[in-house]
Structure 1
Amino acid sequence: MDMQRPLLTVDKLSVSFTMETGIVDAVKQVSFSMHQGQTLALVGESGSGKSVTSGALMGLLPKNARVDPSSQIHFQGTDLLSLPERVLRGYRGGKIAMIFQEPMTSLNPYMPVGEQVAEAIRCHRDVTRQEAMEETLALFERVQLPEPRKRLRHYSHEFSGGQLQRIMIAMALANKPDLLIADEPTTALDVTVQAEVLSLLKEIQAEMGMAILFITHDLGVVRHFADDVVVMCQGEVVEAGHVDKVFHSPEHPYTKMLLDAEPKPGEASEKPQAPVILDAQEIKVRYVLKSNWLGQPSEYLDAVKGISLTLRQGETLGIVGESGSGKSTLGRALMQLLPFSGTVSFDGRKLGDMSARERFELKRHMQMVFQDPYGSLSPRMTIGEIITEPLTVFTQMTKSERIQKARKALDEVRMDPTCINRYPHEFSGGQRQRIAIARALVSEPKFILLDEPTSALDRSVQLTVLELLKDIQRRHHIGYVFISHDLAVVRAISDQVMVMQRGEVVEQGTPEQIFDHPQQAYTQRLISACMMVEDAA
């Protein structure tokens, strides 16, 4: 590593945005430097200015952004902020490459992935299409994409999240950049895939000698992946230094708060034997993959293979497993959101024996909180309209009565009831998830299915939401089925844990049994990958 001359120097970077409500200062006087081969982690919660900083480095800020004239970004001695767009384009994707957080939205759904990577090569180098495709094939092999030659012709929707992220890494490495910016590259991935992607990045970095600017809100991932860390809060750098110093001797209260925000295992306690609220027996879900020329199914995918479970009032059943294990499909079957075989009983009554009207009325007591708080709330409705919608459907309450219930639900999730007339875009991700929980609570349910409700949230916000859910459960004795790939979160909230793989239950027991004494090889691999991500990246 050349310690004499920094590869990148950011000096007093300030970025503001012109909004309808006025000027918003997103980044304030941020300074740091990087050397060749170094890994620098830029950490902080959503809204801290991390991604705006990386956008300024790449020249990818929106039109309403303004970079202060006194700001300087020097890359290999060149001030990037003074370059015209035509020249900057040569740096972007060539000398500086970027891996974005969500690969599905970063890739063109109308082009085969091989063509997209080859296009990135041809934009920066004078090579033929055939030469670019051969280089792309070599890159796909390098990032360990299965069946690389065949995959050149596939489209983005034909890949898993982990495979898409490998393709994005291949595209970023296509022109052998000196600096790789990785913006939350593992946030939406399973722990096993996270570990594989992080290991792959370190391996390629050692081989190519490039520097990595790693942007994340997950300090567990950073702990041993980075050499140095810069902590940002509300657009400012509040602490910076070697990763060991920052993690073991944090000085700023905000850094200490981030480090303390890891979900802690709940204390084991004997709960009184409550009545069974949900009982499912031999649940099977089968998808048709292909049909013959007569329209009859000829090929199936068994997504859920005869799973049984019981949930008692006031208890939480955590369901974990990698993407494709069938956990979300099982959850949707329990909620009657897709066809399935088997029996589901709620509060002692089989759903199959109920009339259509009875099943409709039952939905008031079976609610769901979805993974994405941005997509599950209508942007055209106020918070009050969103929360009171279940009451409009299931009750005969007057408008004033519904509004009163909505205010009470907002108070339950520790939000100001006066925000009832605001819209979802005016809230942060954590606040939106609280609103989604308030919507589920307003009809006074006995059971809530929580499908990855914290995966898109910062660790500190996750912790707040988990404490909120446990507090609500204690007060109202609601049963939860909590689906997640985040093992730390599941351990913190669950009374029982079910581990799924390929549509089957491979292990089940208390959190202590599953996490401290796993019996099955698959469970051991999941926990080992989680430890690698959090403790050794």
Structure 2
Amino acid sequence: MKMQKSLLSVEALSVAFTMESGIVDAVKLVSFSLEKGQTLALVGESGSGKSVTSSAVMGLLPKNASIDPTSKIWFQGTELLALPEKVLRTFRGGKIGMIFQEPMTSLNPYMPVGEQVAEAIRCHRDVSAREAMEETLALFERVHLPEPRKRLRHYPHEFSGGQLQRIMIAMALANKPDLLIADEPTTALDVTVQAEVLSLLKEIQAEMGMAILFITHDLGVVRHFADDVVVMCQGEVVETGTVEKVFHHPEHPYTKMLLDAEPKPGDRAGKASEPVVLQADDVKVRYVLKSNWLGQPTDYLEAVKGISLTLRQGETLGIVGESGSGKSTLGRALMQLLPSTGNIAFEGKNMRQMTAAERFELKRHMQMVFQDPYGSLSPRMTIGDIITEPLTVFTKMTKAERMKKARQVLQEVRLDPHCINRYPHEFSGGQRQRIAIARALIFEPKFILLDEPTSALDRSVQLTVLDLLKDIQQRHNIGYLFISHDLAVVRAISDHVMVMQRGEVVEQGTPEQIFDHPQQAYTQCLISACMLVEDAA
């Protein structure tokens, strides 16, 4: 058997998928090696083949995938592609651990998290259930999960995103792997949580001496976290080298494009003379936590604590804060999707004093774009039907008239009108987000709430969506409420910024005031965490 000096060596890996439309070459002759204790980052946009490469290493490719017979994947001198599934299973989760991108969909919703980690231990080692649970507790303590003993019995939905990612790290480390594959482990996490997760991985890596194959589209994370970089584009490796070389002396145009794909603030013309489109005064939202035996509430969670704001036509108000700060709850209260107290006025008229007919008509002028377009677009409907569905409720237009309007809106969001009969799964993430924006624009609204609309998108796609939103706003003079934890994106699009913590506004002002001269400790902490993740030093 051929022996390899590297811990992991991928040689001329090629993967193809058999689709209804034909054969799709997802990975083409990819080669790289990874040493013990090293962190290698696979970088590229969605569809570049980086996750397919990691799945091939783990033996987790779907049934319609085929690997070229000349491809080789060596791990500790063993050729993984030549192993039968039963033997490969001893490597997977044992010597090779993996952290998946979305922990909520990777964990069983019907099992306590403690049992799930203990199960991973017992699958690979001959230990009792009690011993496995004791090891799980030690792992939870190791990844700094709050109240670890109590949390053993909790279910996935009872944790925040950052806590779920810590549980996934604990599961991946359960059997002390020599190689850890981390597939987008910080996507959609707040900057402070992102910094904590990265620091935790570095700390554990130094302690255990394991190698990390880090898969991401976030170059700021790579710059801070990795030793070497492999840049992938359309299934091929276009550039490799150390972080220092690739970031400071990139050679390939694609690498240069990725490095330049950073949201930049645009010109902000004064909008003080524009009429107010949305006004909120002392808005409060609270959730009932406990009730007595008569059903009367006895304990509440104050999610939003007396927030006031003013949004003018053509203006963008950015709201930032960590998960749980109340920013999305505030947005839903403003959209009348949650019960709240306080006054909310649209174009000077109090919504609480509107008649049912007036509130129904108001929905034409207040629209919303959600964080996950794949989850908010029906997979059973064509995009033409998705975009025109509101017209069937509010107008008496014929189908031909509705489809003509849909084609016009698709052109406005820079999508081909001829794709009107295609389904959501046939589009990329950025294209699906444009479809969601098109649906919001169909009535030419005066206000749009954008709730984390770019959080899971590649940086280059983010730039495209942000430019599109700015262009639409300028042409139609729409007011945006832009909710995000991505500080660079908020700075690039906002005229005014509010920083929220635990349901309260801790600081507000222009982007320059907030990001260049923050006054409050919490704001300073957010910006410092962002710099920690993105700064090369």
| Alignment RMSD (CA, Å) | 1.0
Output the amino acid matched with 1:426.
E
* Distance in 1 separating the partners of 2:446 and 2:373: 22
Contact 1:26-1:52 at 8 Å conserved across structures = yes
Partner of 2:217: 217
Alpha-carbon displacement from aligned partner over 1:248-278 (angstroms, at most 9, x marks no partner): 1111111111111111123444345211000
Counterparts of 2:34 and 2:250, CA distance in 1: 21
Residue in structure 1 matched with residue 177 of structure 2 by the alignment = 177
Q: Secondary structure at the match of 2:379?
A: coil
Taking the aligned partners of 2:95 and 2:305, their CA distance within structure 1 comes to: 49
Measured after TM superposition, the shift of residue 45 of structure 1 is: 0.6
Partners of 1:270 and 1:219 in 2: CA distance: 34
State how far apart, in whole Å, the 1-side matches of 2:314 and 2:393 are.
Answer: 26
Q: Deviations over 1:362-408 (max 9, x none)?
A: 11000000000101111111111111112222222222221111111
1:69 CA displacement: 0.4
Structure 1 length as normaliser, TM-score? 0.98
How far apart in 2 are the matches of 1:72 and 1:453?
40
CA contact (8 A) 1:225 1:536 kept: no
Q: Deviations over 1:323-366 (max 9, x none)?
A: 00000000000100111111111111111121000110111000
Whole-angstrom CA distance in 1 between matches of 2:178 and 2:212: 9
The CA deviation at 1:476 is: 0.6
Cα contact 1:367–1:440 (8 A) shared by 2: yes
- The secondary structure found in structure 2 opposite 1:480 is strand
Supply the distance in 1 between the matched residues of 2:421 and 2:88 (Cα, whole angstroms). 44
Q: Distance in 2 between matches of 1:272 and 1:410?
A: 32
Correspondence for 1:387: 387
Alpha-carbon distance in 1 for matches of 2:300, 2:484: 26
Residue 113 of structure 1: aligned partner: 113
Contact 1:113/1:153, CA 8 A, preserved across alignment? yes
Task: Give the match for residue 335 of structure 1.
Answer: 335
Distance 1:268 1:482 in 2: 16
Matches of residues 333-372 of structure 1 in structure 2 within 5 Å? 333-372=333-372
What is the rounded CA distance, in whole Å, between the counterparts of 2:184 and 2:382 in structure 1? 30
Consecutive unaligned residues in structure 2, runs of 5 or more: none
Counterpart of 1:22 in structure 2 is 22
For 1:360, what is the secondary structure of its paired residue? Answer: helix
Work out the CA distance in 2 between the residues paired with 1:108 and 1:272: 51
For 1:127-148, what per-residue CA distance to the aligned partner results, in whole angstroms no more than 9, with x for missing partners?
A: 1111111111111111101111
Match of 1:226 in 2: 226
Runs of 4+ in structure 1 off by over 4 angstroms are none
SS at match of 2:371: coil
1:445 is the counterpart of 2:445 = yes
Provide the C-alpha distance between the structure 2 equivalents of 1:55 and 1:94, rounded to a whole number of angstroms: 16
User: What is the distance in 1 between the residues matched to 2:408 and 2:320?
Assistant: 32
Deviation at 1:534, TM superposition (A): 1.0
Question: 1:161 offset after TM fit, Å?
Answer: 0.7
| Bigger mean CA deviation after superposition, 192-201 or 387-396 | 387-396
Name the CA distance, whole Å, in 1 between partners of 2:400 and 2:84: 58
* SS class of match (1:10): strand
Letter in 2 for 1:159: F
Task: Name the CA distance, whole Å, in 2 between partners of 1:267 and 1:184.
Answer: 33
2:521 match: 521
- Tell me which residue corresponds to 1:273: 273
Q: Take 1:442 and 1:316, find their aligned partners in 2: how far apart are those partners?
A: 20
Q: Is the 8 A contact 2:271 2:312 kept in 1?
A: no
Output the amino acid matched with 2:476. Answer: H
Shift of 1:536: 4.7
SS in structure 2 at match of 1:287: strand
Count of aligned residue pairs for this structure pair: 534
**TM-score, normalised to structure 2's length?**
0.98
> How far apart, CA to CA, are the structure 1 residues paired with 2:272 and 2:253?
40
Gaps of 5+ in 1: none
| Separation (CA, whole Å) in 2 of partners of 1:236 and 1:465 | 26
